[in-house]
Amino acid sequence: MRKLKLAVLISGGGTNLQALIDACNDPSYPAEIAVVVSNRPDAYGLERAKSAGISAECVDHKDYETREDFEDILHDRLKDHDVELVCLAGFMRLLTATFVGKWKDRMINIHPSLLPSYKGLHTHARAIEDGVRFGGCTVHFVRPEMDDGPIIMQAAVPIDANETEDSLAKKVLTYEHTLYPEAVRLVAEGKVRVSGQKCVFKDTDLGSVGLISPVPAN
């Protein structure tokens, strides 16, 4: 079975990376991780990659004078491993339009909100503050604007009355761990493609069950 070659880019703990590693351990999964790259030497995700026997590399942005110099090296590393799809998984470095352009429709990101709401940081705290009923997470193709691009998958997660930023982050993260491997599977199996600003799907159940919160009394 031909497997799509992934790079996973991280900056931190790497629980989403772990979800991808676990998915790739299934022989029938249509992708494999060729390399994990962190922009921070102390990212725990690098240990996760090494434990799984995956090439783990650090391209420390602090070693480069400009964003472009950093990205040139990053691009070379990805090319060295014949990467076909770049998965940003808690990679907390903005990428230039030039780099994003080189990986157009071949780079995806996971973000902890229901995009296009709550781009940027502190998504859960802002959603709780606004009193919205659902938080969530999104996997999308990357475009030069931050947290922008055609949406592949989303999960909506109800916000409880006593929700805190931490409790919501934990709940959403468990959905992220389901979402990311499934989104990669859709890409790897050719079941999703970009058309204009949107994704279109083939042979894929988009679901039909709505959520209401608070739940109606009858």
**Which residues of the shown chain bind ligand GAR in the complex (CB under 6 A)?**
10, 12-16, 89-90, 110-112, 147, 173, 176
Phi and psi for 199 in degrees, rounded to 5?
Answer: -95, 145
Q: Give least dist CB 215 to ligand GAR, A.
A: 27
**Long-range CB contacts (within 8 A, 24+) of 116-121:** 116/147, 116/148, 119/146, 119/147, 119/148, 120/146, 120/147
Which residue's Cβ lies closest to ligand GAR? 90
- Closest Cα partner for 143 from 187, 196, 97? 97
Q: Write down the least CB distance from residue 51 to ligand GAR, Å.
A: 15
Residue 195's CB is within 10 A of a number of other CB atoms, namely: 8
12 vs 144 by CB, closer to ligand GAR: 12
Nearer to ligand GAR, 44 or 193 (CB): 44
Has 111 been annotated as catalytic? Answer: yes
Q: Which of 75, 111, 122, 140 is catalytic?
A: 111
Find, among 116, 215, 118, the residue nearest to 161 by Cα: 215
Kindly state the tokens that stand for 122.
């502190």
Distance in Å, CB of 193 to ligand GAR, minimum: 23
CB of 214 to ligand GAR, least distance (A): 26
**Nearer CB in complex with ligand GAR: 126/193:** 126
Between 77 and 124, name the residue whose CB sits nearer to ligand GAR: 124
- Evaluated on CA atoms 78, 40, 56, 105, the torsion sign reads negative
Q: List, by residue number, the catalytic residues.
A: 111
